[in-house]
Structure formats: structure tokens, C-alpha cells
Structure 1
């Protein structure tokens, strides 16, 4: 019994203090190497695309795809680290959202394009998602969950004769969920910081990210199409202030870009999409 407890403690400390050295936050805990993250991202992207394909939600408009990839790769070229080959996808849905998978797969919803007032706002959201990839938040959060699960298994094996297994399992679940939520808020702040800097370097006014958060905060709770974005990108008001503070440290913003005729043409194109879920209402 004591041997199990000592082994459990050793494994716990080993997992807790073993950190990857690649990524913006050099002390981040990550069980995945870069090649493993790339392979994981490729697999997840194929599964996500397959599901969206079944739902008829892949937006294959060639001009729209060319635009989103040109904008995305332009932003990526200013990212502080270049570990992955980025791919950008358009998903046909009225939901206002975008998300990133490990390894550089970024999904942009047509509802987001329709909601953004200008190109700089869209660039801001995409730069934010690029920030998640750069900082490797996907595998960082997955690593935290896996570590919590490992610790839980150690606890169960070491305490099974002393503690009700159901109580021990409940403690494990709480620990895992707590770690996940804590990383989520920290990740969002870091992605905002990276995204605002990428925007600035790429020639876009980072104030657009602030205006996007401001508008989003006003819309919170009003329409279902914002629910997913707000659940995965929490606390827009406080993030708005944080980005505002960061802008003050970046330098002159006088010549930075807000909009383009290409974006407005894309927005007009997307506005003509007929969504089955809206027509059914």
C-alpha cells in the first residue's frame, strides 16, 4: 500500500513539473510534441470536416475561400512562432463563431463574416484563433485533462481501500473540470494578447478587436447564434479593457487598416446564403 502511494506521488510530481519548452509560454504544461500535435490536429480536422460535410455545411465558394486563406496566411506570417502549416475552412452556418484545432486548422463560420462590420474585426477574430494555435492551447488543455485523469487513477489505486470509490471519482471529476476551466480563461487572455499584436504587425487596427468585443457584449443573451461563441470566448467586457490597455503599448496606430472593398464584397456574398435552420423557423 505504501509503495503504491509513493509511486503515485512520484508520478504526480513528474507530470506536474514536466513542461514542454516550445510555445509562447515556455512554462506551459504540454504532453505533446510538435509532430504529435500536427498529427492530432490533422486527424481531428478530418473528423470535424466529415461531420460538417454530412450536415451540408461546408462552404465551397471559391472566391470566399481564396479571400479567407489570403487573409489568414497574411496574419500567420506575423505570428511570433511558425510551428505549423495553417489551413482555413469556411463553415456555412448563421452562428457567430470561429475556432482553432491543434496544428493550425482554423474554422470560420459564415455567420461571423456577416456579423463583422469591417475586415479588421474579422482579422482580429482570426488573429485571436491563430494565437490559440501559436500558444498550443488545444494540446495544453488536453494535457491538463489527461494529467488530472492520471492523478485520479493514482488516487483511486492508492485509496480504494480507505475511501468510497464514488466519492473519490467525484473528487477526480471536480479536479479535472476545474483545471479545464482555469486553463480556458488563461488561454483566452493569452490569445487576445497574441492576436492584437499580430493584427498590429499585419497592419490592422487592433481597436477593431475591442469594437467586436463591445458589440458582442451588448448582444450577449439576446440571440442563440451568439451562444456558442460566448460559451467558448467568455467575458467580452473585461477582455475589451485588456486589449485596450495593450494597444497603448504598441505604438502609433494612425496608418493602420480598418476595411477593404474585398471584405465588403465577401460580406455581400455571404449575406445571400439561405440557411435551412433559419428557414425552418
Structure 2
């Protein structure tokens, strides 16, 4: 079986197991606590690791973790212990799950032009976690079952890639509808604003976040396909304008060294 087929099989098995295990738990979350975030995030991470979907290369993992932990040391304290992992996929995506778990696809790492851009991606995802954006989405929904919460994570992980089609199709229409995890414009602006602050405070070039989005736009144009990253991070044009505005105002006033 080809590598893509193996990945598809593992993902389908992972989703099935998660749905079975968690569907038997508490029926819904009216209030999604920090402990709930930690539990769900850890469960998902362990399943990914056990199914062999995460890169095991020590050099790659040390490199990603070093960047992530360095950025984290320049931010406010968080109730979460952050874990940075690389997913075995040529897809162009990065996402964060509840509890401090941040994932970057191999394909995205190969696409960025420098470490600052990769650090910008991690900073943005860290801001989503520290701002508890997914918890806010879940709390607003209130009727989401644990099975659906896992489906949402699976949807973010699969990210619209080819290997995700069959798994998503197996969910009911109701689940597929709630599975559509997209951050709001307010969420994205907050993550960009805080992420930019983390990035600059750590000593990276603040323009890297803006340049990364422009690279993604070029990739979308020349590949004639929508990168998975855009499916969970909407409003790219708005984000480009917002980041450009930050660079022209807030960070420009601090001097060239700040960007």
C-alpha cells in the first residue's frame, strides 16, 4: 500500500476509536473548563502519537520545540503545558488543539522561507490556545457532544486534505455541520495581534507573519488549490491588511529593530 493509503487508514482508525471512546462520556459541555481542554487535547495527542502520525525525528522535534519554548518564555504565564509536534503530511497546515498542543505539517515547514516565518506560525497558534478560542466556540455551542468535539479536532487535523474526505463523509450531516471549525475574524485578529507581540518580543522579524500569508496566497494561486491552512484560518485578505496595519503603526513607532 502506498504511503498516502497508509496515512488514510491510520487516520480513519484514529477517528473511529476517538468517536467510540469519547461518545460514551459526558453528553455535552455547557462550560468547557481548562481541565476539559487539557483532557481533550491530551487524548487527541496520545492517539496521534500511538497511531504513528507524528514525526519521530529527534532533530526535527528538538528544532520545533526549541523555537516554541523560546517564544513561550517571552509570553505571560499559561495554565497549559505546551507541546509542539510535526505531522507526517505534505499538506500545508498548522493548528492548535485545546490544552496547549500545537501541530505543524511537514509540508508547511518545507514551504516557509526562514525560521522567523515558522516562528510566526507557532506564535499565532499559541495565541489561539492562550486566548482559549476553541473553548469559546465550544461554550457558545453548548450542545456539542464529546463525539462531536473529537470530530471537530479530527476535522482540524484532516484539514480538507485528500486523506480526510472519507473520514468526514462517515459523519452524520449534523456532525459534519458542527465539525466546521473556523475561527471568527475577532479570533484571528486577536491571535495575529498577540502572536505578533510574542514574535517581536522573542527577537524575530515581525514582518515574517505577513510574509508567510503572502507566500500562502502565492501557493494557492500557482497550485490552483486551497491550502488546508485557509480552511481553519479564514479571512486571509483581512489578516494581511490587519498585520500590515500593525507593522505600519504599532511596530513602526517602536523603531526598525522591532520589526
What TM-score comes out, normalization by structure 1 length? 0.63
Name stretches of at least 5 consecutive residues in structure 1 with no aligned partner: 1-29, 150-172, 258-281
1:177-188 aligned at under 5 Å gives the runs 183-188=183-188
Q: What SS does the aligned partner of 1:144 have?
A: helix
Q: What SS does the aligned partner of 2:74 have?
A: coil
Q: Larger Cα Rg: Structure 1 or Structure 2?
A: 1
Contact 1:96 1:109 in 2 (8 A): yes
**Residue 135 (structure 1) aligned with residue 136 (structure 2):** no
Matched residue, 1:95: 91
Distance 1:201 1:114 in 2: 25
Contact 1:78 1:202 in 2 (8 A): yes
Contact 1:95 1:226 in 2 (8 A): no
Distance 2:62 2:101 in 1: 16
Structure 1 residues 108 and 37: alpha-carbon distance in aligned structure 2, compared to 1, 3 A threshold: same
Moved over 4 A (4+): none
Matched residue, 1:236: 236
Structure 1 residues 37 and 50: alpha-carbon distance in aligned structure 2, compared to 1, 3 A threshold: same
Contact 1:145 1:180 in 2 (8 A): no
Matched residue, 1:35: 35
Structure 1 residues 227 and 49: alpha-carbon distance in aligned structure 2, compared to 1, 3 A threshold: same
**Residue 75 (structure 1) aligned with residue 77 (structure 2):** no
Structure 1 residues 113 and 76: alpha-carbon distance in aligned structure 2, compared to 1, 3 A threshold: same
Matched residue, 2:250: 249
> CA offset at residue 186 of structure 1?
2.4
Matched residue, 1:278: none
Matched residue, 1:158: none
Distance 1:241 1:114 in 2: 25
What TM-score comes out, normalization by structure 2 length? 0.68
Contact 1:205 1:256 in 2 (8 A): yes
Higher relative contact order (CA 8 A, sep 6+): 2
Q: What SS does the aligned partner of 2:244 have?
A: helix
Matched residue, 2:198: 198
Distance 1:199 1:137 in 2: 19
Distance 1:94 1:118 in 2: 18
> CA offset at residue 241 of structure 1?
1.3
> CA offset at residue 38 of structure 1?
1.4
Contact 2:37 2:99 in 1 (8 A): yes
> CA offset at residue 147 of structure 1?
5.0
> CA offset at residue 132 of structure 1?
0.7
> CA offset at residue 95 of structure 1?
1.0
> CA offset at residue 36 of structure 1?
2.4
Matched residue, 1:16: none
1:136-215 aligned at under 5 Å gives the runs 136-146=132-142, 183-215=183-215
Contact 1:31 1:140 in 2 (8 A): no
Name stretches of at least 5 consecutive residues in structure 2 with no aligned partner: 1-29, 146-173
